[in-house]
Amino acid sequence: MKKKRLIPVLLLRNGWLVQSKQFKRYQNLGNPVSAVKRLSEWASDELIYLDITRDNSYDMRRDDLGHPNRHSILDIIDDVSKVAFMPITVGGRIRTLQDIEQRLALGADKISLNTAAIDNPQFVEAAAREFGSQCIVVSIDVRLDGEAYRVVTKGTSQVTDHTPEDWAGRVEQLGAGEVLVNSVDRDGMKNGYDLDLLDRVARRVRIPVIACGGVGDWEHLADALEQTDVDAVAAANIFHYSDQSVYLAKKYLHERGLNVRPADLLAI
Amino acid sequence: MHDHMSYCNRCMYPAVAVNLSVDDEGICSSCRVAEEFEKLTPEFWEKRRLRFEKTIEEIRKTNKSDYDCLIPVSGGKDSYFQTHMMAAEYGLKPLLVTYHGNNYLPEGDFNRDHMRHAFDADHLVFGPSVEVLKKLNRLCFRKMGDMNWHAHCGIMTYPIQIAIKFKIPLMMWGETAWDISGMYEPDDFVEFSARMRHEHALRGYEWYDMLNDPQEPLREKDLSWAKYPSDEEILSVGVRGLYIGNFFKWDPNQHSRMVQEKYGWKAADRPFERTYRTMSNLDDRYENGVHDLLKFIKFGYGRASDHASKDIRTGYMDRARGIEMVRKHDHVVSQDLYYWLNYVSMSEDEFWATADRFRDPRVWWIEDGQWWKDNIWGQASAYGSVHLPKESWQKYFRR
């Protein structure tokens, strides 16, 4: 049986690796590359690398460090792919087929679309036709609006009419190969995934669903794998709080009898 | 690029401060995190204490050593507080481990050596060869504008090497990094990590970057104390580094009073030139001095800004008094510069010519052959002549 995947998500904002709370509070953690090396060494199944920069500025604001201070996303992706010994999905600020091509040429294995897909759904189709569905992930950010789930985009500034399950169904038809479902309300809150949300989306589509948003404990990863049909569990902040985090998370899931690869370390 | 220095509206930090982010209301991430901490109630800290007890119990279950925990100590007030908690409050047997970088002040020497008199604890003090240290002082000053890289590296590396050697799974660190730059929050329960060490303490440099320098020849075997253990070695003992500041309220002013009264810890008997505090950084004569002067040279703020910012956040000082302290201390060229130049046999000319290479153009500009920057009190002023060759002035011209 196909293994379930455990996927760390790294967030890049203005050249910094950050942690995020509810899509509105950001804390700078460090440079955008050394974390990737660690996640590789801990044998992560994959990596999702999202650029959530609002303007076009990438600057760590100092030049006296042992690692370079890069000023463009493409330079950063180039550095990242040199230390990533796992498949990488790169997302954020992708608007054209050329944007996709550049990222793939620099070593990305997949790309993820969010705003571009909402603004122009045909773009998903064009991208899938050009590069293959296996390489197109659609990222779906969801917020609870009263009782109803709504897809939001452009950070959270635009609330769409789409429900997450309808939107996931739509992008599946358009040729997306996977969907990444993130709950804005749970982002950085450590209170567990929104399992109802994940369940709705996972029931609707046949393509793999990646869960994201709210993990505060390894147990939360298990909850999603045990109680919903998601194919992968992703998380961001928690992997920065301790060393060997991915290894320890995998060990936990494996020992709990879940269908994940056993914990491993890579010597790089 | 920022055109001018902008500052947090609450504390003394400029937006260029390391790792800082300033939000839409003009408040920096350090102040925001401090706000979160201030809101915490005694009930909260009681829960934290219980969590602490549970966590150390869990880790101790895997302990195959005679020591209950390892405490990296310099002999400073924080070291005493950590050891007080573990040895006196919890009755545990700690192994104290010190990296001795040969930078101690006399008060610091006393405080460090007094620890095993004051506590029922064994103490291991390790110091690299002074020849090697002098080379590293000069090399790292030229390479990254920081003569104290060896100290950051030794403090963050030697203890975990010893934890593995003695099979001690629990390292007890002090303050969390939240106060410095607001990277983490109380609920994050952040632990000691190789990434934090590598990026923030060691600035992205490792021991191997120090080899093959023609001026300062160093061999791999000179730097064995600087090598971080592998994940396999760490996992084989299960070493974790907890920050005691995540579990007990961190109040440096109160801690220093307590350790003076209870354990005879000594503050500096005369004030430092670059800060008003007498209780911080006694383990390293340069931390409040020339090492910190380099921070001012690079980024335009110094130790008085750090200390006043902390004291504003904890309510020991108001903003006006903070500004006064910054005005008085931040820029001072302290006498330990001459002690250091003598220690490493370097001329003052070489010092200034090298230091100027690290001036950040986000902060500094050149006008009439002088270094200028904006100040927190709203005016620009000049801070001495430029020692760079004229051909490299271009990036510092503003108009």
Residue of chain B whose Cα is closest to the Cα of A60: B19
How far apart are the C-alpha atoms of A152 and A145, rounded to whole Å?
10
Q: What is the model's pLDDT at position B184?
A: 86
Structure tokens at A123: 């773009």
How far apart are the C-alpha atoms of B382 and A210, rounded to whole Å?
55
CB of A50 closer than 8 Å to CB of A64: no
Architecture of domain A5-256: Alpha-Beta Barrel (3.20)
> Any CB–CB contact under 8 A between A159 and chain B?
no
**A-chain residues near B21 (CB < 8 A):** 16, 26-28
Spacing of C-alpha B357 from chain mean position: 23
Q: In what order do the strands lie in the sheet with B380-385?
A: B365-367, B370-374, B380-385
pTM of the model: 0.92
Spacing of C-alpha A32 from chain mean position: 15
- With an 8 Å Cβ cutoff, are A66 and B144 in contact? yes
Structure tokens at B307: 């200390």
Stated length of chain A: 268
Closest CA to B147 of B318, B365, B389, B350: B350
For A219, other C-beta atoms within 10 Å of its C-beta total: 12
**A-chain residues near B362 (CB < 8 A):** 61
Q: What is the b/e burial string over A236-247, where b = at least 16 CB atoms within 10 angstroms of the residue's CB?
A: bbbbbbbbbbbb
Residue of chain B whose Cα is closest to the Cα of A41: B231
**A-chain residues near B184 (CB < 8 A):** 19, 27, 241
How far apart are the C-alpha atoms of A139 and A113, rounded to whole Å?
6
Phi, psi dihedral angles at B226 (to 5 degrees):
-100, 0
**B-chain residues near A65 (CB < 8 A):** 144, 199, 203-204
Residue type, B286: Y
CB of A81 closer than 8 Å to CB of A88: yes
Residue type, B11: C
Structure tokens at B340: 């250091």
Q: Which residue has the tokens 């931390």?
A: B287
Residue type, B339: Y
Angle CA B22–B27–B33, to nearest 5: 90
For A23, other C-beta atoms within 10 Å of its C-beta total: 19
CB of A153 closer than 8 Å to CB of A195: no
Quickly state the pLDDT bin for A63 (edges 50, 70, 90): confident
Q: What is the model's pLDDT at position A244?
A: 97
Closest CA to A158 of A176, A145, A173, A175: A145
- With an 8 Å Cβ cutoff, are B19 and A237 in contact? no
Residues in a beta bridge with A137 = A112, A178
Domain positions in chain A are 5-256
**B-chain residues near A29 (CB < 8 A):** 19, 183
Q: What is the model's pLDDT at position B180?
A: 54
Q: Which residue has the tokens 């791999």?
A: B220
How far apart are the C-alpha atoms of B216 and A252, rounded to whole Å?
47
B150's CB contacts (< 8 A; 6+ apart) are B101, B128, B133, B136, B137, B140, B226
B43's CB contacts (< 8 A; 6+ apart) are none
DSSP assignments along B323-343, one per residue? HHHHHHHTT---THHHHHHHH
Beta strands at A110-113 and A88-91: parallel, antiparallel or unpaired:
parallel
For A54, other C-beta atoms within 10 Å of its C-beta total: 11
How far apart are the C-alpha atoms of B258 and B210, rounded to whole Å?
41
> Any CB–CB contact under 8 A between A66 and chain B?
yes
Residue of B58, B157, B198, B234 best to disrupt the A interface, most CBs of A under 10 A? B198
**B-chain residues near A267 (CB < 8 A):** 230
DSSP assignments along B124-189, one per residue? EEE---HHHHHHHHHHHHHHHS-TTHHHHHHHHHHHHHHHHHTT--EEEE-S-THHHH----GGG-
How far apart are the C-alpha atoms of B354 and B149, rounded to whole Å?
16
**Mean of the pLDDT values across residues A147-172?**
96
DSSP assignments along B2-48, one per residue? -SS--B-SSSS-BTTSTT--B-TTS-BHHHHHHHHHHT--HHHHHHH
How far apart are the C-alpha atoms of A228 and A165, rounded to whole Å?
14
Report in angstroms the alpha-carbon separations of B245 from A19, B60, B129, B253.
20, 19, 33, 14
Phi, psi dihedral angles at B72 (to 5 degrees):
-75, 120
Residue of chain A whose Cα is closest to the Cα of B29: A27
Q: What is the model's pLDDT at position B8?
A: 93
Q: Which helix (H) or strand (E) holds B99?
A: strand B94-99
Q: What is the model's pLDDT at position B4?
A: 59
Count residue pairs from A and B with Cβ separation < 8 A.
Answer: 94
- With an 8 Å Cβ cutoff, are B199 and A42 in contact? no
Closest CA to B340 of B214, B206, B151: B151
Out of B181, B187, B231, name the one closest to residue A244 (CB). Answer: B231
A35's CB contacts (< 8 A; 6+ apart) are A10, A17, A29, A240, B195
Quickly state the pLDDT bin for A254 (edges 50, 70, 90): very high
- With an 8 Å Cβ cutoff, are A67 and B18 in contact? no
Q: What is the model's pLDDT at position A266?
A: 87
B379's CB contacts (< 8 A; 6+ apart) are none
A128's CB contacts (< 8 A; 6+ apart) are A136, A174, A175, A176, A177
Report in angstroms the alpha-carbon separations of B124 from A80, B67, B166, B171, B324.
40, 13, 12, 14, 41
Q: What is the model's pLDDT at position B120?
A: 93
A83's CB contacts (< 8 A; 6+ apart) are A33, A36, A37, A40, A268
**Ranges of chain B with pLDDT below 70:** 1-4, 18, 177-182, 399
CB of B157 closer than 8 Å to CB of B227: yes
**Mean of the pLDDT values across residues A167-181?**
98
Residue of B153, B183, B359, B396 best to disrupt the A interface, most CBs of A under 10 A? B183
How far apart are the C-alpha atoms of B266 and B68, rounded to whole Å?
27
